[in-house]
Amino acid sequence: MGRYPRTQISGPLSDFVSSVYRDMRSEGYAVLSAAHALTAMAHLSRWMEDHQLSIAELRPDRVEEFFHHRRATGYVGFTSSRALDPIVRSLRRSGVELPGPADRPGPHDELLAEFADYLETERCLTVLAVENYCRVARHFLRERFEDARPTPRDLRTIDVTGFIRRASRRLSVSTCKIQVTALRALLRWLYVRGEIDSDLAGCVPAVAGWRQASLPRGLEDHQVERLLRSCDRRRSVGRRDYAVLLLLVRMGLRAGEVAALELDDVTWKTGEILVCGKGNKHAHLPLPHEVGEAIAAYLKRGRPRYPSRKLFLRSRAPYEGLGRHAVTAIVQRAFQRAGVQSRRRGAHVLRHTAATQMLRRGGSLSEIAQVLRHSHIDTTAIYAKVDQNALRELAQPWPGGES
């Protein structure tokens, strides 16, 4: 029988009360939140004792059975697996091995794990690229083999072309090109391993697409102002979101670059910020006064007091650093709050906006390329088409029409 603050626990989890409470407090949970978690933990431990379950037998299906029992008895809180995440993390820190989905691998997991290892060690791809390639590979294997163990030798040309053809109907040209590249990598890897008898990578159809064929879709100035005003800077989360949006729309950073920022990357004396971009390339960029003020306001009156070196943290416990998807979610919520209508609402729209604003205010393509850290000026050349005033001067009168 264990007792930790005002919570009495019996059963298999009784020895972990103090460690769970201590870990939750160190992650930033309030005393009351930790106490409520311990109450749910006590209920779970009693239920395990009644069903004669050990910790090693606490499989996901038994956890769902517990939640069903908890809801049936009238509880409305801590009725999902996510609610138990802090308890699970603490138990694993204490060396407890809990069964989970990872202990029941799917039919494609082993093959995909080896493919990911090849991409990382031999192809030296970034973590994000490996994730994208493996996502496409998983989708392809599931579509072809469903839930059965994959047998690559059964792959046919029609499987490859059909997959790309179906993807082309629902995906943009750029996304479909990623699908093609990832699928070719998978098929070549299978051929080199001897899993397939012929190199089916040559069967992957090319995607028709031309450079500079599309226009970058940026926002108008009034739309940007609406996005920024939608952040309630009286609250800590509003100060954080405001700083994140400014980094995206004033400096043209990518979502992953914002998520990767750390406290030491900002040099206040020189007014610079260190950005880690694509290919693990680092660049020192001048920190605009407006952006620096927003970051300073967040650090002084918004950032949780937590030992993480990440610049931007979650607004609620556990106070871990924001990821790339969390930064994108901040942008999407701002679009929703501000009521800004746009075909695309991701963080990259703000990067396009930063480039078009610099161009309209007199910036040259080479200057924009430096700010956006493009490796080739050809990548930046697409923004020349949005400068309508400059293009109007170059336009020739239509033959036979009014000049």
What single-letter DSSP state applies at residue 194?
T
Annotated active-site residue in 108, 254, 303, 310:
254
Note the pTM of the prediction, 2 decimals.
0.72
Q: Which residue has the tokens 């206040």?
A: 268
Per-residue model confidence as pLDDT tens digits over 76-102? 888 888 888 899 899 988 888 877 554
Annotated active-site residue in 70, 108, 314, 351:
351
Per-residue model confidence as pLDDT tens digits over 290-314? 999 999 999 999 999 888 999 999 9
Q: Is 343 a catalytic residue?
A: no
Q: Is 142 a catalytic residue?
A: no
Per-residue model confidence as pLDDT tens digits over 189-210? 999 999 998 899 999 998 876 5
Q: Is 254 a catalytic residue?
A: yes
Q: 38 CB contacts (<8 Å, ≥6 apart)?
A: 4, 5, 7, 9, 17, 20, 21
Q: Is 282 a catalytic residue?
A: no
* Domains of the chain from N-terminus onward: 2-103 (1.10.150), 109-203 (1.10.150.130), 221-390 (1.10.443.10)
Question: In the prediction, which pLDDT does 3 show?
Answer: 46
Q: Are 44 and 66 in contact (CB under 8 A)?
A: yes
Q: Is 92 a catalytic residue?
A: no
Q: Which residue has the tokens 């919520």?
A: 333
Q: State the pairing for strand pair 7-9/2-4.
A: antiparallel
> What is the full DSSP assignment across 361-401?
TT--HHHHHHHHT-SSHHHHGGGGGG-HHHHHHHPPPPTTS
What are the tokens at 42?
């006590």
Annotated active-site residue in 59, 139, 226, 278:
278
188-227 exposure pattern, b = at least 16 Cβ within 10 A, e = fewer: bbbbeeeebeeebbebbeebeeeeeeeeeebbeeebbebb
Q: Is 98 exposed, middle or buried (0-12, 13-18, 19+ CB in 10 A)?
A: middle
Cα distance between residue 327 and residue 314, in whole Å: 10
Q: Is 239 a catalytic residue?
A: no
Handedness of CA 230, 236, 240, 246 (dihedral sign): positive
What are the tokens at 103?
């202990």
User: How sure is the predictor about 41, in pLDDT bands with cuts at 50, 70 and 90?
Assistant: very high
